[in-house]
Structure 1
Amino acid sequence: MNVLQWLANLQPALVGAVLLWAGGIKLLSRSARLAARRSALVRLVGKDRVFVAYRAVGAVEVGIGALLVAPPVHPAEGLAAAGLGAAMLGYLGYARLAAPGSSCGCLGDKHVPVRFRGFARAAVLMLAGALAVAATEFWTVTLTESPLATVGVLLAEAALIVVLSPELDHRWLHPLRRLRLRISHPLAGRPAEVPLAASVQQLHKSAAYSSVAGLLRSDLLDTWDEGDWRLLAYAARTESGKVTAVFAVPRLGFRPEEVRVVLVPEAELPAPV
């Protein structure tokens, strides 16, 4: 068996799994209705029929996916997958022109406008479906004959699909970016004393600061260090009256997600000596 034939035998497993995943989201996700309203299908079929059309696409994907991952092998399955990939390319092109702010709604319920990665993913699936037309053995046979190579190729192809799916960025890309920021930031893991301006900058990037920024009524009033924390105090006002917003900021590292805030009523502050 040559390499091309071996790869062809594997493609039904890959394309079938992706289609089952995509169709399952459209049919079973609790946010499928919202994803349908965000997609370019609204421009194609109208608001009243968009959810039915969205579910119908999901049913087609599940049907073709099930045929691909189940025996026996038949060229028509690959043709159907390739045709679905070509139709997806056409749909993405329409979405990009007619509704550029709309979401693809392909592999998840996240709202992501149609961009290059969506086109590349559809093209990869179309080519994989076309290659599956030449499959002569069911993919489990190939898996049994060369398990390590088969698993390696399928994992690599699956990783490519994930990389080309912006709907999934929150699962892997965003955590990696946060990790890189922690490691590469000039303050990350720095044992020496850091300047006050750096603590203020870290504070401004935190969710704690954003949550009360509208209440603040002054610049920085006071600051002091307690262990690994730097405390920053600001005047603020709530519906109940004047308060002091005290933020606890990590002193020796850049970890804005760990910043905390407490609003202390003036009546509870210690009297000046």
Structure 2
Amino acid sequence: MIESLASVQQLVLGGVLLWASVLKLRTPEAARRSALKRLVGERHVVRAYRAVAGVELVVGAVLVLPPVLAVEAYLAVALSAGMLGYLTYAKVKAPESSCGCLGDKHTPVRGRAFLRAGLLVALGVLAGSGSGWWPSAGPLVLVAVVEGAAVVMLSPELDHLWLLPLRRWRVRLSHPLANREVTVPLESTVQQLQKSGAYRSVVGRLRSDLLDHWDEGEWRILTYAADTDTGTDTGQATAVFAVPLTDYRPDDVRVALVPETAEAMVV
């Protein structure tokens, strides 16, 4: 029983490390918002971030693949202990910087991140006593699902995947106006639009106030008269903005310039 439970930790630790490495490699720009920037400097932060991702990728892969060696678990313990040290540094030296550990969302280091690192250290120590490959654990592999869920719950960077939807669902059930249709004011949508990078990228081309608007699912569409510059000619166009209707997400605003006689140019 204990032997099988120890073997399951290979899958948990390997899965967490692989997840962390893939996210770091996919979004290296997150390094500049992390405490790692304070530790290694602006010039080297992306390179260091990718190096950490490479180490996590290698250790995660050897954990989930055969053969089973105790040194693999000890490497995971060392990485998790290093994360604890890094979190302590971030908390002291850059308290408002994000961890950059398991996601690209900006979330300052708080107690949950320390609990997560501590949990990974404990799982690594337990994994060191296992000698069988994790598929041999049989039904006990389901324990990995529970432990993986615990890691997610202790990761503020991942709250947007489960905690925020859960809170919205609870509000919909408990709010006295939950069963009534709520109309988002147009002024609120315009304010969100004007805060977006998409709006700032084309505001110099706009030639009118709001012309028209309508809702399509979770988006509100706004249109403005605009100019389009193709490099050789300047003509009239319509700027069509798509703005999130029910959430404040100005970074998700999109715009397309639709010339009168040409195809749309998405910005």
Asked if Structure 1 and Structure 2 have the same fold, meaning a TM-score greater than 0.5 normalized by the shorter chain, the answer is yes
2:188 corresponds to which of 210, 225, 231: 210
* 2:42 aligned counterpart, secondary structure: coil
Distance 1:18 1:137 in 2: 20
Which residue of structure 1 aligns with residue 156 of structure 2? 166
Which residue of structure 2 aligns with residue 100 of structure 1? 95
Is contact 1:71–1:138 with CA below 8 Å preserved after alignment? yes
Q: Structure 2 unaligned runs (5+)? A: 193-206, 216-244, 248-267
Q: CA RMSD in A?
A: 2.6
Report deviation, 1:208.
4.0
* 1:162 aligned counterpart, secondary structure: helix
For residues 250-261 of structure 1, the aligned pairs below 5 Å read: 257=246
User: Is 1:136 paired with 2:131?
Assistant: yes
Which residue of structure 2 aligns with residue 38 of structure 1? 33
Which residue of structure 2 aligns with residue 178 of structure 1? 168
Relative to structure 1, the CA distance from residue 126 to residue 247 in structure 2 (aligned partners, 3 Å threshold; closer, same or farther) is same
Report deviation, 1:247.
11
Relative to structure 1, the CA distance from residue 213 to residue 102 in structure 2 (aligned partners, 3 Å threshold; closer, same or farther) is closer
Distance 2:115 2:20 in 1: 16
Distance 1:41 1:80 in 2: 21
1:126 corresponds to which of 115, 121, 128: 121
TM norm structure 1: 0.68
* 1:183 aligned counterpart, secondary structure: helix
Is contact 1:207–1:257 with CA below 8 Å preserved after alignment? no
Report deviation, 1:5.
2.3
User: Is 1:114 paired with 2:109?
Assistant: yes
Report deviation, 1:105.
0.4
Identity %: 50
Which residue of structure 2 aligns with residue 12 of structure 1? 10
Report deviation, 1:168.
1.1
Amino acid at match of 1:150: V
Distance 1:78 1:246 in 2: 57
Is contact 2:135–2:141 with CA below 8 Å preserved after alignment? no
Distance 1:141 1:121 in 2: 26
Report deviation, 1:26.
1.2
Is contact 2:24–2:53 with CA below 8 Å preserved after alignment? yes
Q: Structure 1 unaligned runs (5+)? A: 191-198, 215-238, 249-255, 259-273
TM norm structure 2: 0.70
Deviation readout 1:231-259 (Å, 9 max, x if unpaired): xxxxxxxx868x9x9999xxxxxxx839x
